Every structure is written in C-alpha cells, then in structure tokens.
Amino acid sequence: MTKAIKLPMFFAMSLVLVSTTGLAAPPIPNPVLVFTGSQYYQAGGKHLVRYTFDVFNKADFPAEMFTAAPKLPPCGSNTKASRTWVDIYDQNGKRLNGFCAIAKPDNLNQLWFALEEDQLPPSWIYIEMTDRQTETKYKSNLAETSM
C-alpha cells in the first residue's frame, strides 16, 4: 500500500472510532428507587412518620437536569425552580409529595413523603422525574415502603 492510500484509510478509521466512542451522551435511564427508612417526628401538633427514599442510580443523571430554570414556569413563588421536578405517587397513582428545587443528582437521596402516625403507608410507591425543558418523564420502579 502506498502512503496516499494509508492516510485516507487512517482518517476513515479515526472517524469510525470517534463515532463509536461516545461523543453522544448515553441515554438517560429510568430512576431506580429504594426505600431507606422511616423517621417519627412531630410537626404542627401532629405525630408523623416520614418515609425516605434514594435513587440508586442517581449518578447516571446529568447535572444539567437539575439546574435552576428561571425561564420555565415557577414552582409556587420559587422562580428559580429546577429544570427537573420529582413527584412521589402511591401504587394507584395518588400524588404523595413533590420536589421542585432539587439542585443536583446527589440530592435524589433525600426524597420522602409523610403520613400521620396512625395512617398505614401504601405498600408500594414510585416516582416520576419530569424534565420540563425536554418534556420527558422518567418513571421509576415500584419501591416498598418498609424494609
């Protein structure tokens, strides 16, 4: 082979390597939700139980999904709500709590909902993460509410 043939072949191989080595971001997965515990506390004269959860694969979500998004509609009076909101639902689709100011993926370990102490929690819950910029929803698995 002559150098004239080797050089274009080298560039063609380089382009194949570049296109297969991940210039494009990997696809965003659905969240994997896990129960982390429960805590008893009092607020407003009521005895409550807070059920806490973590997104096991939170490191797989890009930080830009949680940046402040002042150009998108506010969350109440919060005009710098995050781009992605997280809502917690029971297994029947009843909303239990929501988070509109999660600042980074690491904060997905601080999800919770609370019920009065004498109320039974739902057996299973799930979350939906809504990326308001791309109008994409990411739905988690069903997670138990006890260990």
Looking at the chain, how many residues does it have?
147
- 17 falls in which pLDDT band (50, 70, 90)? very low
CA 12 to chain CA centroid, nearest Å = 39
Domains identified in the chain and CATH numbers: 32-144 (2.60.40)
pLDDT tens digits, one per residue of 103-133:
999 999 999 999 999 999 999 999 999 999 9
Q: Among residues of the chain, what percentage have pLDDT more than 70?
A: 84
Q: ∠132-134-140 over CA atoms, to 5°? A: 70
Query: Quick check: 10 pLDDT over 60?
Result: no
Those residues whose C-beta lies under 8 Å from the C-beta of residue 25, and which sit 6 or more positions away, are 62
pLDDT tens readout for residues 42-67: 999 999 999 999 999 999 999 999 99
DSSP per-residue codes, 57-111? TGGGS-GGGGSB-TTSPPBTTBTT-BSEEEEEEETTS-EEEEES---SGGGGG-E
